[in-house]
A and B are shown apart, each in its own frame.
Chain A
Amino acid sequence: MEEIILKVVDFTEYPDVRYIEHDEFSGELFYLNYVKPYFKKAVKENKILVVDLDNTAGYASSFLDEAFGNLVYDFDFDDIRIHLKIISLQEPDWINIIQDDIIVKWKEKKDRNLPRKEI
């Protein structure tokens, strides 16, 4: 399948916290402005969205949790498995954490009818 490349560093060198109300470079904003529209395009065109985590100054896990977990509430879980690919040479262990841990936990949250945003 063809790929659509999205680099986090194009959004910011300093990914910060979870919610927009806490900081301008939040995971929530990255999701809304980048991940969601790019992923929608990838599913529509039958491509893979490849998200490159490298070359930022470093991540808070809350940023990644919000940036990718939200996909579960807006898209089909099987589509996420097929059309999303995370890459990182600098911190490769994030790949499994996002794909096997974060996304699965958010799916469980959705299945329990919990709201996506915990306020």
Chain B
Amino acid sequence: MIKFLLLIILVFLFFLIKFIIIWNRFQLEFSDYLDIFAIFINIGVPIYIAHFLQNKFLKNNTLKNYHIKQLDDFFTEYNLFIDNLLRGNYNRREIANKFKIFTIRLDSIDKQNFERFNIDINLQEVNRQLHMYITSCDSFNNSVTNSKVKFSDVNIVQINMLFSYYIEKNGRVIYTLHK
């Protein structure tokens, strides 16, 4: 960055000296000065756009794409977990353990979204609602230790409702990142 600025200054000084030589040798009109100024603008503005603005735009886009991919990867796993849970494929220990892992990861995702993009949509909140509903219902608590937990139809409906709320919030985060 410093080297680039030095280069700009050197180029400017070169043209300034040239300008002074030309000014001493020739009798220039005001329109001639405008033409010379236009030359500087035509050189300087593209350099500024190419180096500063485009770089900033590319970096920002790359970072956003990385975060969107993180959200997508997380959602794929979470979706699979909920699907298996509704099919009755887990016992109580597995459910509690998976929720803990998802909670830890979501905490990190929410924090990054807020710190880097000022997104205050909290995905953890819905995850916790799902967790609390699932692990406080009778189907979970009354199941035999180590056997798979089978949820009632009422439970399944409520779990789907909470999960669709998660999908909606997740969509809003991705939409905000794309802006």
Contact = CB atoms under 8 A, between A and B. Distances in A.
A90 B104 contact: yes
Interface residues of B, number: 22
Interface residues of A, number: 22
Interface of B is mostly: helix
A91 B104 contact: yes
A34 interface: no
Given A17-B140, A22-B141, A62 B135 contact: yes
Contact of B136 (A14, A22, A62, A93): A62
Interface stretch (A1-9, A53-61, A77-85, A107-115): A53-61
Interface string B88-107: 00001101111111011001
Contacts of A56: 100
Nearest to B127: A93
A61 B145 contact: no
B142 A22 contact: yes
Given A22-B142, A90-B104, A93-B128, A58 B136 contact: no
A18 B100 CA distance: 18
Interface SS majority for chain A: loop
A23 B145 contact: yes
A60 B100 contact: no
B170 interface: no
B99 to A, nearest CB: 6
A91 B103 contact: yes
B92 A61 contact: no
Interface of B: 92-93, 95-101, 103-104, 107, 124, 128, 131-132, 135-136, 140-142, 145
Interface of A: 14-19, 22-23, 56-63, 65, 90-93, 97
14 contacts: A16-B96, A16-B145, A19-B141, A22-B142, A23-B145, A57-B100, A59-B96, A61-B131, A62-B135, A63-B135, A65-B136, A91-B100, A91-B107, A97-B128
